[in-house]
A and B are shown apart, each in its own frame.
Chain A
Amino acid sequence: MVESVPLSWRLQRQRYNLIGTRCATCDERFFPPRNFCPSCRRKGKIEPFQFSGRGSVESFTVIRVAPSGFESQTPYAVGIIKLDEGTSISGQIVGDVTRVEMGKRVRPVFRRIREDGKEGVIHYGVKWALEG
């Protein structure tokens, strides 16, 4: 699937800098950003929140047969990362897949996400690297 350039551009700043939201009333954090707090509902006060991106691997799986646009990256690990600042986020875990383990500490890194063929746009964003 080739993602449209305008859609990708709107999501870009959020994708590059892990900008989510936080409910000022109950302190719950959201990524991707939500503009409505499901707990506080109408009493919720939503504001932007920048995550540091540090956390640990909550679960992961190794992709060996990849969708279009990701073929050149196999094998690669995708996982759920439990962020230190609350909430979990899914994403790719970079490097040698044999080193990935549940509970391992991760930090965010800026990488190529996908390219639209040899002549298309290159999409960049945050992935996770194992610490140490």
Chain B
Amino acid sequence: MTSLGIVGYGAYVPRFRISVEEIARVWGEDAETIKNGLGVQEKSVPDKDEDTITIAVEAGKNALARAGISPRTVGALYVGSESHPYAVKPSGTVVGEALDLGTDLMVADFEFACKAGTAAMQCCYGLVKAGVIDYGLAIGADTSQGRPGDMLEYTASAGGAAFVIGKDPLAELETTCSYTTDTSDFWRREGADYPSHGARFTGKPAYFHHVTQATQLLLGKLGLKPADFTAAVFHMPNGKFPTAAAAGLGFTPAQLERSLVVRRIGNTYSGSSLLGLTNVLDAAKPGDRILLTSYGSGAGSDAFSFLVTDRIIERRDKAPATEAYIQDKQHIDYGTYVRLRRKLKV
């Protein structure tokens, strides 16, 4: 059987950062307590002319560059986000034309809170495996917002990652599965500016249950145990949840360490676990096995196992590393932040 998986991957993180200290100063809260509680030091902030579409295009360009394929050979484009700029008009229509993917193209926008990007990967994988298309482009991107003064304001950030799925991969997709239930831990009604959530933190019945179940389901299908993986990546609503989920499943801090981009860029929602994966791939060696488990409120988790191939070596340097985006930053104050995010309704 021909091996299928990630042919090229790309990351994008906006340049501006706001620190936990700066937000805490405005609300009169203790920055150290919050940093320790969340495991986040600062978060990315999009520029005034950036949105989910522009982030998806930048990440998509990088994924196509690494794949080294003609954009016109991409047969499907699925963009996952919970901050699509239009309520009606798919983000993928703009992204597809901006990436010059041509018109012989299946397009749809996906929504499943923070796991819409991994759902897009599963669909591309299915279409490629069935032989319907040669390559699919799956993107997870968000410019998420927390209500001013809400704890989410410390973590809700912006970023995205894109994956070309097809044959001759740099990371073979061994298998994928999902675990889904009807759990109302976090939601946003049509027309509402900010999301609502059940509690200050939505832990046990939501994040931990779904992440753990999906991961165990995947391990069972493959007959693997945590020690068989070089690295593990989990959805990162903050720095604490993935660390606790990994420990509960039997993964070591060393297996998780490289994926924890959340500490320096915050929770990029649909981009969150995917940017953890791009950062892990940037340092991966042929033969490495990588676990990826996303989480989307509502709720569900998608789990994947990837086996890195020799192709990683020749393709990795064809686009900027995730770390390059994380380090190219400029700090802003709360006033600038409010203006950029248009939080003041005029």
Contact = CB atoms under 8 A, between A and B. Distances in A.
Interface size class of A (residues with CB under 8 A): 10 to 19
B79 interface: no
Q: Which of A17, A111, A122 has the most CB of B within 10 A?
A: A111
A124 B48 contact: no
A113 B98 CA distance: 13
A16 B51 contact: no
Contacts of B97: 12-13, 16
A20 to B, nearest CB: 14
Interface stretch (B53-61, B227-235, B250-258): B53-61
Contacts of A61: none
B134 to A, nearest CB: 22
A94 B48 CA distance: 9
Interface string A101-112: 000000001111
Contacts of B85: 122
Contacts of A17: 98, 100
A122 B84 CA distance: 12
Contacts of A16: 97-98, 100
A51 B255 CA distance: 43
Contacts of B86: 122
A132 B15 CA distance: 11
B54 A111 contact: yes
Interface string A10-52: 0011001100000000000000000000000000000000000
B3 interface: no
Interface string B192-234: 0000000000000000000000000000000000000000000
Contacts of B98: 16-17, 110, 124
A85 interface: no
Q: Which of A94, A122, A124 has the most CB of B within 10 A?
A: A124
Contacts of A73: 48-49
A126 to B, nearest CB: 9
Contacts of B53: 112, 122, 124
A61 to B, nearest CB: 18
B100 A112 contact: no
Interface in A91-126: 94-96, 109-113, 122, 124
B330 interface: yes
A112 B328 contact: no
Given A17-B98, A110-B98, A124-B94, A95 B15 contact: yes
A96 B328 contact: no
A96 B336 CA distance: 11
A79 to B, nearest CB: 15
Nearest to A127: B49
A17 B71 CA distance: 12
A110 B47 contact: no
A112 B330 contact: no
Q: Which of A72, A96, A110, A113 has the most CB of B within 10 A?
A: A110
What are the 9 closest A-B residue pairs judged by CB atoms, nearest first? A110-B57, A112-B49, A111-B49, A16-B98, A110-B54, A111-B54, A17-B100, A110-B98, A73-B48
11 contacts: A13-B100, A16-B100, A17-B100, A94-B49, A95-B47, A110-B54, A111-B54, A122-B53, A124-B53, A124-B94, A124-B98
